[in-house]
Amino acid sequence: MKLYTYDPAPNPRRLTLFLKLKGIEIETQQIDMMTAEQLQDRYRQINPTCTLPALVLDDGTVLTEVIGIFAYLEELYPEQPLMGSTPLERAQAISWCHRLFQSLMIAIASVLRNRGKHFHNRALPGPLDTPQIPELAERGLLQVHHILPQLDAHLAASTWLAGDNFTIADIDLLVMIDFLTWIKESIPDTCSHLQAWQQRATARTA
């Protein structure tokens, strides 16, 4: 297997933490997103969607979605499970990952890509040039400020996001909380449960 990634970016970092916690070592090549290397022909031949990370399997199959890579590697390396140990735990972990991506991750990315100069005409990831829409940045901020208190309320009665055990859902949320700094946002002081969770999650992944 070979992993193409860019360590500082949020989606690659989700996988980096997963590999670290599982103790998995994979041949890795960095693709520099700051120079738009992911858009160059050499990488397009590997992953036409021009996104990172991408995991190339020994038979040539390419996995490009982090949740799919999680599932594949969890099957290969079941020790120290990070996707739950029962059908319900797995369902809850995957559901939280989907919910977080659809709400918080996309909201933060909308703010970043629709107001950042670096993303001029690159408001969406992938090969298609897309114009920035400033109103989407404002909507993203509204979503962020709405979602964080909801997460705080949930964590008032739960040690980890998807139940009693640390899972990929916690990895995803930790990465997204750090991603907030890219748009100069952070956990509000009123969200004490979310702040306490962040301390636990940071210690767990250290």
**Which CATH number do you get for residue 45?**
3.40.30.10
Q: Which of 50, 76, 102 marks a domain boundary?
A: 76
pTM, to two decimals? 0.96
Q: How far is CA 127 from CA 48, 79, 103, 167, in A?
A: 8, 37, 23, 32
Q: Which of 76, 95, 129 marks a domain boundary?
A: 76
99/164 same-domain check = yes
Residue 96 resides in a domain? yes
Residue 82 resides in a domain? no
Percentage of the residues of the chain whose pLDDT score is greater than 90? 98
Going by pLDDT thresholds of 50, 70 and 90, the confidence category of residue 117 is confident
Percentage of the residues of the chain whose pLDDT score is greater than 70? 100
Element (H, E) at 30: strand 27-30
| Residue-range definition of the domain harbouring residue 21 | 2-76
72/94 same-domain check = no
Cα gap 71→74, rounded to integer Å: 5
Write down the pLDDT at residue 116: 86
125/198 same-domain check = yes
Position 196 pLDDT exceeds 90: yes
71/94 same-domain check = no
Give the mean pLDDT of the chain: 97
169/68 same-domain check = no
Write down the pLDDT at residue 162: 95
SS3 42: helix
When divided into structural domains, the chain yields a total of: 2
Position 22 pLDDT exceeds 90: yes
Nearest to 172 by CA among 73, 74, 66: 66
Backbone angles phi, psi at 132, to 5 degrees: -75, 145
Which residue type is seen at 180? L
Position 181 pLDDT exceeds 90: yes
63/160 same-domain check = no
62/162 same-domain check = no
Query: How many Cα neighbours within 13 Å face the side chain of 177?
Result: 21
CATH number of the domain at 142, please: 1.20.1050.10
Q: What is the pLDDT of residues 107-116, one digit of tens each?
A: 999 999 999 8
Q: Which of 76, 101, 134 marks a domain boundary?
A: 76
Q: What is the pLDDT of residues 36-87, one digit of tens each?
A: 999 999 999 999 999 999 999 999 999 999 999 999 999 999 999 999 999 9
47/135 same-domain check = no
Q: What is the pLDDT of residues 85-114, one digit of tens each?
A: 999 999 999 999 999 999 999 999 999 999
Residue 141 resides in a domain? yes
43/95 same-domain check = no
Angle made by CA atoms 146, 150, 151, in degrees to the nearest 5:
115
11/113 same-domain check = no
